[in-house]
Amino acid sequence: MTVKRLYETMYILRPDLPDLEADAAIAKYQEFLVQQESEDITIQHRGRRRLAYDIKGHREGIYIQVNYMATPKTIESLEKSMRLADDVIRYMTIKLEPEAIEEDAEAIPDAEAPIEVDEVAVAEVAASEVAVAVAAE
C-alpha cells in the first residue's frame, strides 16, 4: 500500500541559464516525477524575479512551482537531485494537505472520523470570550 500526498515544490534556477537550458531543467524534474509515478503534476513558470538577498552570488532567479501527488520517498530523491544540481540555487517542498490519499481508494483504517461542529456552542464560547475581554478592561 503506497500512500501519496499532495506536495508543492518551489525551486529557483540560476538567472544566467539560457531559456533552452532552463526549459531543459524544468523538463528534467518533470520527467523525474513521472518516472517516480507521481500524479497530477502541474508546473507553473513564475519567471525571473529579484531575490530578497544574495543566494550563491545571485541577485535574481528563475522561479518554478510544481504541484503533484507523490510518496515521501519521491520527495527525498527529488530534493537530493536538486541539492546536487548546479542549476538549482534554492528549493523547498511543502506538504499541502494533511489527509493521505491511497492508490487503491480503500479507507485508511486508523483515520479519525470527521468532527462535527455545533455552531451554537461555538457562538456561545465566542460570546463568553467577548464578555471576559470587556470585563477585563
80 within some domain: yes
55 within some domain: yes
Which amino acid, one-letter code, is at 56? K
Tens-place pLDDT, residues 69-126: 999 999 999 999 999 999 999 999 999 865 544 443 444 444 444 445 455 555 554 5
- Which of the listed ranges 7-11, 95-99, 127-131 does the model predict with the highest average pLDDT? 7-11
87 within some domain: yes
20 within some domain: yes
d(CA 99, CA 83): 28
The parent domain of residue 70 ranges over 3-102
Q: Which residues contact 82 (CB under 8 A, 6 or more apart)?
A: 11, 29, 88, 91
d(CA 70, CA 3): 8
- The sign of the dihedral angle between the CA atoms of 13, 19, 21, 24 is positive
Tens-place pLDDT, residues 14-72: 999 999 999 999 999 999 999 998 898 899 999 999 999 999 899 999 999 999 999 99
* Count: domains in the chain: 1
Strands 101-102 and 39-55, by their bridges, are: unpaired
26 within some domain: yes
89 within some domain: yes
Q: What is the CATH number of the domain that holds 48?
A: 3.30.70.60
131 within some domain: no
- Scan for cell 463568553, then name that residue: 128
